[in-house]
A and B are shown apart, each in its own frame.
Chain A
């Protein structure tokens, strides 16, 4: 994995190993914010930004903690960094786009507990990516998350016009829909296999 070309790393992370549909990370916002297209795309963008910041910080932190021999503090340090990064995004959004800030509402602070973000930090540490690889990985993960979110939101907007049987409504429908999307994304599996 260490000398994978960057484009391939990016594409694999977006499509074949899509964070939401293949690795099950970030499902809460995926099911929660994907009801409307208008909030799905900004949510994806905010998450991507936090991912990049978190990835950068996690790389530096990991180097520092390894140097100090304090690896067992890694998890706690990562979580603290991610929480601060989310706070930062929240403040920037509040200043420059109050409408968007209100639209995202409760989901913005919830990015902190989005496993996709901690997932990026943990996976890049586990796979020993270099700085550039880490950033590529993070942007791929963010793009994949946004893609899945937007696709799902589009589907759900169309489905609101359809006649759905009573017991299937709500979460069950969303899950089955996600399953179908995930099945589609499995078609990309061969993409990253060129090792």
Chain B
């Protein structure tokens, strides 16, 4: 994917994950935390930032070690690197906010098996010098966080009538309860994808010359 002959500029490298290859909306990777923690915008943001940290840290380390790791054991090595960073984040969140820690639950530790992180380590960081690897990981992480936030805020607004814990509507608002329940996650993400697909199709129709 990233092996095109003209080397992408640092800015392109950074923006790739945010827009063109957004992990949530375009690649549809790492769905489990996306659905599970996005019942509120705060949870979504915390999860996004934690994933960004792990992604960036592991990308840096994988990229630095890329000449020393033998090909046969590379996946195992990456997993151990990622697991170490996740352990750091796990203890960090526990120390900073116990409330958040209980809300996110086992999903912090499950960052280990988020396909985006291993996918990036394998497809990008192991082939690139540290700087582009970190920039790309940072972009991917932020793209992931933006996706989570988009999902989390819609679900919180519809399902609880709040955003970041602040009430948006009057007391008469009847929350659409199913949106903060498991099915809501599927529906909202399906809805976002639908919207993007539709926009893409419409754009294609309006500009047939391209």
A interface residues with partner B (beta carbon < 8 Å): 21-28, 31, 72, 75-76, 79-80, 83, 110, 112-115, 117-119, 122-123, 126, 166-173, 175-176, 178-180, 182-183, 186
Partner of B178, one of A31, A122, A175, A183: A183
Q: Is the pair B28, A115 in contact by a Cβ cutoff of 8 Å?
A: no
Known contacts A76-B84, A118-B110, A172-B194, then 11 further A-B pairs from the complex at CB < 8 Å, ordered by chain A residue: A72-B91, A75-B90, A76-B83, A83-B79, A113-B114, A118-B109, A119-B110, A175-B186, A176-B186, A176-B190, A186-B181
* Residue B32 is within 8 A (CB to CB) of chain A in the complex: yes
Write out the residue numbers on chain B whose beta carbons fall within 8 Å of the beta carbon of A113.
113-115, 118
Q: Is the pair A79, B35 in contact by a Cβ cutoff of 8 Å?
A: no
Q: Please tell me the size bucket of the interface on B.
A: 35 or more
Q: Is the pair B183, A118 in contact by a Cβ cutoff of 8 Å?
A: no
Task: Report Cα–Cα, A117/B110, bound state, in Å.
Answer: 10
Write out the residue numbers on chain B whose beta carbons fall within 8 Å of the beta carbon of A175.
186-187, 189-190, 193
State the majority secondary structure of interface residues on A: helix
Q: Is the pair A24, B31 in contact by a Cβ cutoff of 8 Å?
A: yes
Q: Is the pair B36, A23 in contact by a Cβ cutoff of 8 Å?
A: yes
* Residue B148 is within 8 A (CB to CB) of chain A in the complex: no
B interface residues with partner A (beta carbon < 8 Å): 28-33, 35-36, 75-76, 79-80, 83-84, 86-87, 90-91, 105-106, 109-110, 112-115, 118, 178, 181-187, 189-191, 193-194, 197-198, 201
Residue on B with the closest CB to A32? B28
Residue on A with the closest CB to B106? A122
Q: Is the pair A172, B113 in contact by a Cβ cutoff of 8 Å?
A: no
Q: Is the pair A115, B110 in contact by a Cβ cutoff of 8 Å?
A: yes
Write out the residue numbers on chain A whose beta carbons fall within 8 Å of the beta carbon of B189.
175
List 10 tightest A-B contacts by C-beta distance, closest first: A179-B186, A175-B190, A27-B31, A172-B193, A24-B35, A167-B197, A176-B190, A24-B36, A182-B183, A167-B198
